[in-house]
């Protein structure tokens, strides 16, 4: 696709120099930006279509491709992956119109005339949308290009009513950044991988098309919702330097968490705020250069990214090992079937006819603004993970990573809100267990496990931070045993009502722990003796030392008999005492 060659460009630049999105246009800066005129080389096009592959060839190539997800330096084939990530910026209004960004509003209710492509309406840059984009670029350690510019990329599709998309592909506002992947991202402790960010560009989002299958009354149709049309996106383009699907997945997760941590883009893939295209090539190890890339478009989960890369590596190895050439092409991913299918070849690639947008002057970003943003950038994921692993939270690396990977980072906020709530409560007893770990366990494992078992997404998490803090307060103060705290959590998850108060549940179901006098508690001893007498054979096996672990059976039954109101320690003491007598 040739770059824009016309000198047509609105002359007065947008100048973005101060925080709070003020921009000025001093008359001294009227010079139009020099246009980019080199022709981008596309890989030479091959007319060789993939040859038929015999079952035997396919089998042998498949075995070579085994472990396609891992970086396999013994394999004959060197894998290269590059990502293009589109992220919706955290901006209240669209990029070139004053319509509000909203993803839950009724269809077509957030649409300005420009978004609907009413003839004659021209784009007007909404300066505040640039600020989160710069935050992202600074977080990715990019160079902020003082001068960038917008071009129109022409193509027609039902979700693109203007017939073009405005983008900075040829003149991005940020270039040459990096992402460092390390142990905190799930790599081996000795591995540190640096992935380049070629550039970050501003661009417009498309509308959303919603397919409706046919019914008795209506034929199948596609509805178009323009609410998303024109929302501000950044496209983040990595260099082709990822060497495996595992690294690509780690890189994508890290990009999402950096976007979220820098508050540049709040919604991750789970909510449709981030989409990813992957580019995959293979080359015989030892040969110079890279193989021809195949692009798989529009992936909407990390799993889809990882699986599609693995499938593509295998597909390319099958083609190459059977004597074929890889055709440069664009493919789509079918997550249900776990396979990709060709959408178009490079020969069928549209010429986008990039043209400078005559209505949009160049954008000037002054260093003072960049410095302000740099100095006010919130902590980034590596810092957040280390923070969660250090005091006062002391989570394991695994839990800290899970916490920030889950639910677009909302689990961390949930966790911290509970921590702060508990510490602020009068009469709160931190207890002997490490509080950070305890909350981590209840948030990730107890609650997370229950939600997963009931197929409840985090977005629909029925337990509020206050309910969870109440529950843990009662657990720590000894009012609830661990068993009864779990019953309370079961109830909260099942009944999904933020108004339920834990204190009322304890009262209503008579769950408050019974205080005990440990191994001398007469009531408990009586109950334990009764249980032991009910299972004479098992008791004998404990006494004779044949099956000492059967004590746990009696401890469990004693706890049950108290209605879970006596904690495991007290029950254990009594059972131990009776068997040692």
Ligand X SMILES: Nc1ncnc2c1ncn2[C@@H]1O[C@H](COP(=O)(O)OP(=O)(O)OP(=O)(O)O)[C@@H](O)[C@H]1O
Buried b (16+ CB within 10 A) or exposed e, 206-226: bbbeeeeeeeeeeeeeeebbb
Contact partner at residue 80 from Mg ion, ligand X, none, CB < 5 to 8 Å by partner kind: ligand X
Please select the residue that binds ligand X; options are 239, 301, 441, 477, rule is CB under 6 A: 239
| Closest chain position to ligand X (CB) | 82
Please select the residue that binds ligand X; options are 15, 83, 226, 319, rule is CB under 6 A: 83
Q: Terminal CA-to-CA distance of the chain, rounded, Å?
A: 88
C-beta of 169 vs 393, nearer to Mg ion = 169
The 3-class secondary structure across 52-82, one letter per residue, is CCCHHHHHHHHHHHCCCCCCCCCCCEEEEEE
CB of 352 to Mg ion, least distance (A): 11
Stretch that binds ligand X, among 78-86, 310-318, 340-348, 362-370 (CB under 6 A): 78-86
DSSP β-bridge partners for residue 235:
86, 201
Please select the residue that binds ligand X; options are 132, 177, 186, 240, rule is CB under 6 A: 240
Mask for 244-283, x = binds Mg ion (CB under 5 A): ---------------------------------x------
CB of 154 to ligand X, least distance (A): 12
Q: What are the residues whose beta carbons fall under 8 Å from the beta carbon of 488, sequence distance 6 or more? A: 471, 474, 480, 502, 505, 506, 511
Q: To which H or E segment does residue 108 belong?
A: none
349 is a contact residue toward Mg ion (CB under 5 A): no
Burial class (CB in 10 A: 0-12, 13-18, 19+), 188: exposed
Instruction: Find out whether 514 and 571 touch, Cβ atoms under 8 Å.
Output: no
Residue 520: strand, helix, or coil: helix
Q: How many CA atoms lie within 13 A of 285 on its CB side?
A: 9
**CA–CA gap between residue 368 and residue 366 (Å, rounded):** 5
261 is a contact residue toward ligand X (CB under 6 A): no
CB of 188 to ligand X, least distance (A): 23
| Closest chain position to Mg ion (CB) | 84
Instruction: Find out whether 45 and 56 touch, Cβ atoms under 8 Å.
Output: no
Mask for 120-149, x = binds ligand X (CB under 6 A): ------------------------------
CB of 26 to Mg ion, least distance (A): 34
Tokens of 92: 């209240």
CB of 86 to ligand X, least distance (A): 9
Q: Site for ligand X (CB under 6 A): how many residues?
A: 17
C-beta of 131 vs 237, nearer to ligand X = 237
Burial class (CB in 10 A: 0-12, 13-18, 19+), 498: exposed
∠ at Cα 538 (537, 540), nearest 5°? 65
C-beta of 172 vs 362, nearer to Mg ion = 172
Please select the residue that binds ligand X; options are 57, 84, 224, 577, rule is CB under 6 A: 84
Helical spans, DSSP H, in 117-269: 130-139, 245-261
Stretch that binds ligand X, among 77-85, 176-184, 384-392, 421-429 (CB under 6 A): 77-85
Q: What are the residues whose beta carbons fall under 8 Å from the beta carbon of 72, sequence distance 6 or more? A: 244
**CA–CA gap between residue 345 and residue 326 (Å, rounded):** 11
Mask for 178-217, x = binds ligand X (CB under 6 A): ----------------------------------------
CB of 362 to ligand X, least distance (A): 21
C-beta of 199 vs 562, nearer to Mg ion = 199
To which residue do tokens 């941590």 refer?
261
**CA–CA gap between residue 205 and residue 474 (Å, rounded):** 48
C-beta of 83 vs 131, nearer to ligand X = 83
Stretch that binds ligand X, among 81-89, 125-133, 186-194, 434-442 (CB under 6 A): 81-89
**CA–CA gap between residue 183 and residue 386 (Å, rounded):** 11
Q: DSSP letters of 438-485?
A: HHHIIIIIIIHHHHHHTT--GGG----HHHHHHHHHHHHTTSS-HHHH
82 is a contact residue toward ligand X (CB under 6 A): yes
**CA–CA gap between residue 316 and residue 283 (Å, rounded):** 10
C-beta of 39 vs 423, nearer to Mg ion = 39
233 is a contact residue toward ligand X (CB under 6 A): no
Tokens of 235: 């496209």
- Chain Cα centroid distance, residue 115: 28
Instruction: Find out whether 265 and 105 touch, Cβ atoms under 8 Å.
Output: no
CB of 284 to ligand X, least distance (A): 13
> Pairing mode, if any, of strands 329-334 and 294-299?
parallel
- The H helix count followed by the E strand count for the chain is 17, 18
Stretch that binds ligand X, among 24-32, 82-90, 119-127, 510-518 (CB under 6 A): 82-90
**CA–CA gap between residue 210 and residue 223 (Å, rounded):** 5
**CA–CA gap between residue 542 and residue 128 (Å, rounded):** 73
C-beta of 3 vs 67, nearer to ligand X = 3
Stretch that binds ligand X, among 4-12, 231-239, 371-379, 519-527 (CB under 6 A): 231-239
Contact partner at residue 421 from Mg ion, ligand X, none, CB < 5 to 8 Å by partner kind: none
Mask for 81-120, x = binds Mg ion (CB under 5 A): ---x------------------------------------
Q: Within positions 277 to 306, which residues make up the interface with ligand X, using CB under 6 A?
A: 277, 279-281, 290-291, 293, 295
CB of 347 to ligand X, least distance (A): 15
Report the greatest alpha carbon distance in the chain: 98
Q: Site for Mg ion (CB under 5 A): how many residues?
A: 2
Stretch that binds ligand X, among 61-69, 75-83, 420-428, 527-535 (CB under 6 A): 75-83
Please select the residue that binds ligand X; options are 238, 465, 481, 516, rule is CB under 6 A: 238
Contact partner at residue 401 from ligand X, Mg ion, none, CB < 5 to 8 Å by partner kind: none
80 is a contact residue toward ligand X (CB under 6 A): yes
Binding positions for Mg ion, rule: CB under 5 A: 84, 277
Q: Which residues bind ligand X (CB under 6 A)?
A: 80-84, 237-240, 277, 279-281, 290-291, 293, 295
């Amino acid at each position: 696709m040739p770059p824009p060659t016309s000198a047509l460009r609105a002359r007065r630049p947008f100048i973005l120099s101060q925080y709070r999105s003020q921009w000025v246009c001093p008359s001294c800066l009227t010079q139009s930006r020099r246009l980019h005129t080199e022709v981008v080389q596309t890989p030479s096009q091959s007319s060789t279509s993939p040859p038929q592959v015999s079952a035997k060839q396919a089998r042998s190539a498949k075995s070579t491709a085994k472990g396609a997800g891992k970086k396999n330096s013994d394999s004959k084939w060197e894998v290269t992956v590059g990502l293009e990530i589109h992220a919706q910026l955290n901006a209240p209004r669209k990029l070139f119109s004053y319509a509000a960004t909203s993803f839950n509003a009724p269809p077509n209710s957030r649409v300005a005339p420009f978004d609907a492509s009413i003839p004659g309406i021209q784009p007007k840059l909404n300066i505040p949308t640039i600020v989160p984009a710069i935050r992202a670029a600074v977080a990715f350690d990019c160079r902020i290009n003082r001068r960038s510019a917008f071009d129109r990329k022409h193509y027609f599709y039902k979700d693109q009513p203007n017939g073009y998309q405005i983008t900075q592909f040829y003149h991005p506002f940020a270039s040459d950044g990096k992402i460092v992947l390390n142990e905190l991202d799930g790599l081996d402790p000795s591995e540190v991988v640096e992935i380049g960010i070629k550039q970050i560009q501003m661009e417009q989002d498309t509308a959303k098309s919603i397919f409706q299958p046919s019914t008795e009354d209506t034929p199948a149709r596609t509805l178009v919702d323009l609410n998303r049309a024109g929302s501000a996106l950044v496209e983040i383009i990595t260099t082709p330097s990822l060497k495996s699907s595992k690294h690509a997945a780690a890189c994508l997760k890290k990009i999402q968490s950096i976007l979220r941590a820098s508050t540049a883009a709040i919604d991750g893939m789970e909510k449709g705020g981030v989409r990813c295209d992957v580019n995959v090539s293979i080359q015989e190890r030892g040969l110079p250069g890279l193989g021809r890339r195949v692009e798989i478009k529009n992936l909407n989960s990390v799993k889809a990214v990882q699986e599609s890369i693995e499938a593509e590596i295998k597909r390319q190895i099958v083609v190459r090992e059977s004597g074929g050439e890889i055709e440069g092409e664009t493919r789509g991913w079918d997550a249900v079937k776990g396979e990709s299918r060709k959408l178009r070849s490079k020969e069928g690639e549209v010429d986008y006819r990039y043209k400078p947008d005559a209505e949009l002057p160049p954008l000037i970003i002054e260093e003072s603004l960049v410095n302000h943003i740099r100095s006010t950038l919130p902590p980034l994921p590596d810092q957040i993970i280390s923070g969660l692993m250090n005091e006062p939270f002391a989570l394991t690396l695994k839990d800290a990573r899970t916490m920030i990977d889950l639910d677009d980072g909302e689990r961390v906020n949930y966790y911290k809100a509970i921590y702060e709530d508990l510490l602020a409560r009068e009469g709160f007893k931190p207890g002997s267990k490490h509080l950070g770990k305890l909350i981590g366990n209840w948030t990730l494992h107890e609650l997370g496990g229950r939600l997963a078992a009931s197929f409840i997404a985090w977005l629909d998490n029925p337990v509020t931070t206050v309910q969870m803090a109440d529950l843990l307060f009662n657990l720590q103060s000894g009012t609830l045993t661990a068993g009864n705290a779990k019953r309370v959590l079961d109830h909260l998850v099942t009944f999904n009502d933020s108004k339920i108060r834990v204190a009322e549940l304890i009262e209503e179901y008579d769950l408050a722990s019974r205080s005990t006098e440990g191994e001398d508690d007469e009531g408990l001893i009586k109950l334990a003796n009764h249980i032991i007498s009910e299972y004479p054979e098992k008791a004998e096996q404990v006494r004779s030392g044949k099956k000492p672990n059967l004590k746990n059976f009696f401890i469990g039954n004693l706890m049950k008999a108290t209605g879970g109101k006596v904690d495991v320690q007290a029950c254990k003491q009594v059972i131990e005492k009776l068997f040692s007598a």
